Amino acid sequence: MPEADTAPAPFRRLAVVGLGLIGSSIARAARHYGAVETIVAIDRDATVLDRVRALGLADEVTDDLAAGVAQADLVILCVPVGAAGEVAKAMAGHLKPGAVVSDVGSVKVAVAAAVAPHLDPGIDFVPAHPVAGTEYSGPDAGFSTLFSGRWCILTPLPEGEPEAVARVQAFWETIGAIVECMTPEHHDLVLAITSHVPHLIAYNIVGTAADLEEVTQSEVIKFSAGGFRDFTRIAASDPTMWRDVFLANKDAVLEMLGRFNEDLSALQRAIRWGDGDALHALFTRTRAIRRGIVAVGQETAEPDFGRGRTREPDPS
């Protein structure tokens, strides 16, 4: 057990809805760091719930959303972005007064719009997005240190209670994350370029390679060089989650894709006209970005792109 914090835990009873990679990691981390007294796991999928029981991830396990959230002080929605609204609607009226609802969705404007209208007065909603994950899904994929040293972005609503925001911040800090607040609009723009467009590019490049008629599928697998392999790792990410991300963050993704296409055209021109200086100048700037990410501890400098970090042994 890590060093005990002297501050009282911000929440006693936690309900996690959706025990996939992120939900199961929150449950593991909450127990590992002693962030709450009781953990309730709620999922619609009986196979997921069986795994949660077998792995001992929660104190209570149920497929009954209304009963599961009823006594919770903090409810965290860990379902795909497109499902957050329907889950909020189904639990409306079953939450106890003063409960705080949060989420982990990778898109914030759409989730806030889908969830907030269903919550009764007296229930605080504090949207959140832990910027941490892997390409794996399901309860077996989670681990308690997933959020250690990683950012968790809170996007408080204008009408949100500062005290509820502070408690959610304290929860994330207890499980190892570093918290920053910003508006949902700014979050969606930043994540469009740092996460969503890179995933789209990965899905596209792997799809293009798979469709090439002159190259067989087995050659793509056999001769996959480091660069392509890194794209395949990203392109193996959960199809449902990423479908929802692109549908929910349409405007910001299209804005960033427009810029990306312009820059790609400039690169195409530089290659066509043999402009080595332009290529060299860009590649020098991008190398500095990579070094900056390593310097602030968000990545290792290991030559395998830090793959060893993506799933550390679970100490819990």
Q: Which stretch binds ligand NAP (CB under 6 A): 16-24, 27-35, 207-215, 262-270?
A: 16-24
Comparing CB distances to ligand NAP, the nearer of 44 and 270 is 44
With residue 167 as reference, give the H or E element that holds it: helix 162-174
- DSSP 8-state code for residue 83: G
According to CB under 6 A, which one of 40, 76, 83, 197 is a site residue for ligand NAP?
83
Residue in 41, 57, 104, 175 binding ligand NAP, rule: CB under 6 A = 104
Q: Under a CB-based contact definition with an 8 Å cutoff, are residues 26 and 76 in contact? A: yes
The minimum distance between CB 80 and ligand NAP, in angstroms, equals 5
CA nearest neighbour of 235 among 263, 198, 269, 261: 198
List the one residue from 20, 127, 156, 184 that touches ligand NAP (CB under 6 A).
20
Q: Is 86 in the site for ligand NAP (CB under 6 A)?
A: yes
Please, are residues 242 and 21 in contact by the beta-carbon 8 Å criterion?
no
Q: Kindly state whether residue 253 participates in binding ligand NAP, applying the rule CB under 6 A.
A: no
- Least Å distance, CB 276 to ligand NAP, is 37
For residue 233, the Cα-to-chain-centroid distance in whole angstroms is 16
Return the closest-CA partner of residue 133 out of 49, 35, 24, 53: 24
For residues 138-177, which are near ligand NAP according to CB under 6 A?
138
Q: Are 15 and 75 in contact (CB under 8 A)?
A: yes
> Does residue 44 interact with ligand NAP by CB under 6 A?
yes
Span of 3-11, 132-140, 149-157, 258-266 interacting with ligand NAP by CB under 6 A: 132-140
Residue 79 is a binding residue for ligand NAP (CB under 6 A):
yes
CB atoms within 10 A of CB 288: 9
Query: Cα-flanking dihedrals φ and ψ of residue 110, to 5°?
Result: -65, -40
Tokens 């066509």 correspond to what residue? 272
Q: Considering the complex, what minimum distance in angstroms separates the CB of residue 310 from ligand NAP?
A: 10
Alpha carbons within 13 angstroms on the beta-carbon side of residue 111 total 34
Residues that bind ligand NAP (CB under 6 A): 18-23, 43-45, 48, 78-81, 83, 86-87, 104-106, 129-130, 133, 137-138, 238, 241, 245
